Structure 1
Amino acid sequence: MITLKPFKAIRPQKELVEKVVSLPYDVMNIEEAKEMAKGNPYNFLHVTRAEIDIEELKNPYSEIVYKKSKENLYKMVDENILFKDKEPRFYIYRQTMNGRAQTGIVGCASVDDYLNGKIKKHEFTRYEKEIDRINHFDYCDANTEPIFLTYKKDEVINNIINRWTEFHLPEYMFNTKDGVKHILWCVTDNLVIEQIQLQFKKVDSLYIADGHHRTESAVKVALKRRAQFPNYTGQEEYNYFMTVTFPHEDLYIMDYNRVVKDLNGLSEMDFIEKVKENFLIEKVEGQFKPEKQHTFGMFLEGQWCKLEAKPETYINKDIISRLDVSILQKYLLHPILGIDDPRSNKRIDFVGGIRGLAELEQRTISDMKVAFSMYPTTIEELIEIADKGEVMPPKSTWFEPKLLSGLFIHTLDTEYLL
């Protein structure tokens, strides 16, 4: 049984929505964030990445940054750039990219459902990254960005969504520069709100698709508040965190590619010979993007090659060992290139598939030596692994399109924003 709760969203005025919304805080560096928000005081990066507004900042995780985030958020409310709905609502959010649509319900999930394992994760988090969003949410007293969840296909929920979107006008409809179309409907009918809540009570589990660090951070802020207020009832807003929850069949996982700084002291010839122990290698004309599992592209010294894992690397293996990210790590990155822990090793970097293979080529020219293109992990693999209570290797999934920030905000317990 899953608890999904409507809430009073803080959201942009309709005429300003395209100026307010931004990409999530964690898909760009500070220079890119500054450029994206340049000349636009409404851009929500002024809240999620407030360091862009502080000159000569030495530490992006200092208290001054979180205070600035709060100041910028409250200023946007004071100036009526953002306003708060008067009644709790669900919202329906549709994104269409390259003709493919994903439509989810915006609401608040229960901290206790996460703590009790009903909201399942598929990757580990790093505490130092959690600390940043813990401080950000705590100072802002709000979930400023949503968690990206998914549920196994449910015809009743899908029918509710389809009926509402067919017969009601959207609140917002616009395209972003990346060509993605965004539509948001407000669900204002109390009967429909109740139907959504009741149907989610019949759902066994939700799965985190993207946003593990934000989830952990939101939960730890809630636990902190519970410790501060031991007589809490469980109904306080901080006991819930903002999510967009999509049916699993809507989701699109892209490749999450790898680039490595050097050949670990090997010559190119010696490196190739070691790779041949567990992979078949074939030079190809032009770029190579894998079209099936257990194949990989490798770009080295200006040449693309197709790598095909030998059957003994994946036959009769458990589901995690069969993942392409596991095969590449176990049979190439670790034993040959010395990448022992991809989560912390500074010689490896990860490139989301949305950047294309040209980005991999460019990285081998600018700061890396060899690149690997991957076949995407599937949503079915993610769900199976999460159901087993296990976790994927780091950087296994890259979801597109990304959820926009600034389209809706969930306040916790501050009277100022309530």
Structure 2
Amino acid sequence: MAEILPFKAVRPAKAKAGLVVSRSYQDYSKAEIAAQLESNPYSFLHIINPEYDLQEKNVGGNRFKMIKERYLQYKEDGTFIKDEEPFYYVYKIETPQDSCCGIIAAASARDYENNIIKKHEDTIAHREILFKEYLQVVGFNAEPVLLTFQDNKIIERVISETLNTATENEFTTADGEKHSLWKISNPEVAESLRSEFANIGSLYIADGHHRCASSALLAKESRAKNPEHTGKEPYNYFLSYIISEKDLKIDGFSRLISDLNSHSKEEFLFLLKKNFSIKNYEEKIFVPAEKHQFSMYLDGQYYSLQLKKTGVRASDSRSQLDAVILHENILKPILGIQDLRNDKRISYFPGTDDNVEIKRQVDSGKFAVGFAMLPPGIAEIKQIAEENLTMPPKSTYIEPKLRSGLTIYEF
């Protein structure tokens, strides 16, 4: 049973919410960050770039302390206000294309440790440790982990009824996204929500594996250091945005390889024929339409690759993933890509227009060949998690991508 609790959120003052909230830091280019910092004095980016005004480059623990100091300044001057009571929050994101709506709450680090909150991706140890140290110093979560659950009528009814009440925050960003936030202030409704989450067998991490793992690591260390630990301390939980599976949008990542591993184009195509049926579409874009089918762009031409029965397959769920099939049949044996995380010869591009980006990158000469495939579905992701397996890096690009600074969890 999952423990999902209300919490006292620190939130931007209503009039400033649209100015404060930012996309995830990694989503900005250096030029975009500079423009935001120059033009918007309220942006959350000022908190995580405290050295901007000082024109200094501070790293490590000292920089983390500066982040905390800037955050406390935002609270002191009224840019951020902390709710006096713990609440669940309903959060809706609307784009010109679609929308999603879910619950912002505190999820249990113990549930992550006990595999009630299930992962489908590996994390990198040094990134876990770095972010754990960051959390230890700054004392807050500002960007939720995205969790998902199987469609639930009771939770959906609570969300639907809450949408008919007055919003706490509502604003539209420059890219056309509308963001709306509600508090669930009725204690009986809040208790029914807590109880229903407790009845859910499992939650699944859709996005934020490193944030989740780092929060769990912090909780474990904090427990060990606290002789009066009760399990209810704020460090036992982390900020989460919990949505129904139907609201997830799952795209894939293309793979771009810088060279053909000393093979000529003709040799490379010949080697592919062992495990794939190949069709040349010349300059016509080919988009994969089914599993075990791949699009390849090479030397100005598109190809379809269909896995033959002779291709490398196995019985477990991970081995049936197209990202694994691509690696085991092409990237590793032919192109010599062993380490998908660290080999500098491979790059990844997310999103739905990956065939256009593949063509642009290969035509530029930066890469020799590019591959695209269908992303895994939610059923595949859940099955991987249930079997305690993990996907290769960059197997999924999952939306919604969440904003930083709308609700902050302090510990």
What TM-score does the superposition give when structure 1 sets the normalisation length? 0.92
**Would the aligned equivalents of 1:30 and 1:52 in 2 still touch at CA under 8 Å?**
no
**Would the aligned equivalents of 1:171 and 1:186 in 2 still touch at CA under 8 Å?**
yes
**Would the aligned equivalents of 1:91 and 1:105 in 2 still touch at CA under 8 Å?**
yes
Q: Find the aligned partners of 1:288 and 1:197 in 2 and give their Cα distance.
A: 47
| Aligned with residue 317 of structure 1, among 311, 315, 318 | 315
**Would the aligned equivalents of 1:145 and 1:406 in 2 still touch at CA under 8 Å?**
yes
**Would the aligned equivalents of 2:148 and 2:245 in 1 still touch at CA under 8 Å?**
yes
Report the number of matched residues.
409
Structure 2 residue aligned with 1:396 = 395
**Would the aligned equivalents of 1:297 and 1:373 in 2 still touch at CA under 8 Å?**
yes
Distance 1:231 1:257, change over 3 A: same
Q: What is the letter of the counterpart of residue 280 of structure 1?
A: S
Instruction: Name stretches of at least 5 consecutive residues in structure 1 with no aligned partner.
Output: 413-418
1:28-39 mapped onto 2 (5 Å cutoff): 28=28, 30=30, 32-39=32-39
Q: Find the aligned partners of 1:174 and 1:121 in 2 and give their Cα distance.
A: 32
Q: Find the aligned partners of 1:36 and 1:283 in 2 and give their Cα distance.
A: 45
Q: What is the letter of the counterpart of residue 233 of structure 1?
A: T
What do residues 364-407 of structure 1 show as CA deviations (whole Å, max 9, x unaligned)?
21632222122111111111111111111211111123011111
Deviation of 1:187 (Å):
1.2
Q: What is the letter of the counterpart of residue 147 of structure 1?
A: V
Structure 2 residue aligned with 1:415 = none
Structure 2 residue aligned with 1:385 = 384
| Aligned with residue 62 of structure 1, among 53, 60, 84 | 60
**Would the aligned equivalents of 2:256 and 2:346 in 1 still touch at CA under 8 Å?**
yes
Deviation of 1:106 (Å):
0.4
Q: Find the aligned partners of 1:13 and 1:291 in 2 and give their Cα distance.
A: 47
What do residues 228-275 of structure 1 show as CA deviations (whole Å, max 9, x unaligned)?
212111111111101001111221101211111111111122112112
Distance 1:221 1:106, change over 3 A: same
What do residues 106-158 of structure 1 show as CA deviations (whole Å, max 9, x unaligned)?
00011111111111111110012112311221111011211000111111111
**Would the aligned equivalents of 1:180 and 1:401 in 2 still touch at CA under 8 Å?**
no
**Would the aligned equivalents of 2:121 and 2:391 in 1 still touch at CA under 8 Å?**
yes
Moved over 6 A (4+): none
| Aligned with residue 134 of structure 1, among 129, 132, 135 | 132
Distance 1:184 1:356, change over 3 A: farther
Q: Find the aligned partners of 2:23 and 2:89 in 1 and give their Cα distance.
A: 19
Deviation of 1:52 (Å):
5.7
Instruction: Name stretches of at least 5 consecutive residues in structure 2 with no aligned partner.
Output: none
Q: What is the letter of the counterpart of residue 319 of structure 1?
A: S
Specify the SS of the correspondent of 1:393: coil
| Aligned with residue 248 of structure 2, among 233, 236, 251 | 251
Q: What is the letter of the counterpart of residue 20 of structure 1?
A: V
Structure 2 residue aligned with 1:100 = 98
Specify the SS of the correspondent of 1:201: helix
Q: Find the aligned partners of 2:76 and 2:368 in 1 and give their Cα distance.
A: 50
Structure 2 residue aligned with 1:27 = 27
| Aligned with residue 210 of structure 1, among 207, 223, 231 | 207
**Would the aligned equivalents of 1:288 and 1:373 in 2 still touch at CA under 8 Å?**
no
Structure 1 residue aligned with 2:268 = 271
Please state if 1:237 is matched with 2:234.
yes
**Would the aligned equivalents of 1:50 and 1:66 in 2 still touch at CA under 8 Å?**
no
Instruction: Compare 363-372 and 201-210 and name the one that shifted more.
Output: 363-372
What do residues 249-307 of structure 1 show as CA deviations (whole Å, max 9, x unaligned)?
22110121111111111112211211222222223244333232222221222222222
Q: Find the aligned partners of 1:244 and 1:80 in 2 and give their Cα distance.
A: 25
Deviation of 1:316 (Å):
6.5
Q: Find the aligned partners of 2:216 and 2:346 in 1 and give their Cα distance.
A: 30
**Would the aligned equivalents of 1:314 and 1:322 in 2 still touch at CA under 8 Å?**
no
1:26-175 mapped onto 2 (5 Å cutoff): 26-28=26-28, 30=30, 32-48=32-48, 50=50, 55=55, 57=57, 62-165=60-163, 167-175=164-172
Structure 2 residue aligned with 1:10 = 10
Deviation of 1:54 (Å):
6.5
Q: What is the letter of the counterpart of residue 210 of structure 1?
A: D
Distance 1:297 1:177, change over 3 A: farther
Please state if 1:375 is matched with 2:374.
yes
Q: Find the aligned partners of 1:261 and 1:36 in 2 and give their Cα distance.
A: 33
Structure 2 residue aligned with 1:292 = 290
**Would the aligned equivalents of 1:33 and 1:49 in 2 still touch at CA under 8 Å?**
no
Q: What is the letter of the counterpart of residue 213 of structure 2?
A: E
Query: CA RMSD for the aligned pairs?
Result: 2.1
Q: Find the aligned partners of 1:130 and 1:54 in 2 and give their Cα distance.
A: 29
Please state if 1:190 is matched with 2:187.
yes
Q: Find the aligned partners of 1:347 and 1:316 in 2 and give their Cα distance.
A: 27
Q: Find the aligned partners of 2:325 and 2:290 in 1 and give their Cα distance.
A: 14
Q: Find the aligned partners of 2:96 and 2:160 in 1 and give their Cα distance.
A: 20
Structure 1 residue aligned with 2:217 = 220
**Would the aligned equivalents of 1:25 and 1:49 in 2 still touch at CA under 8 Å?**
no
**Would the aligned equivalents of 2:313 and 2:325 in 1 still touch at CA under 8 Å?**
no
Structure 2 residue aligned with 1:328 = 326
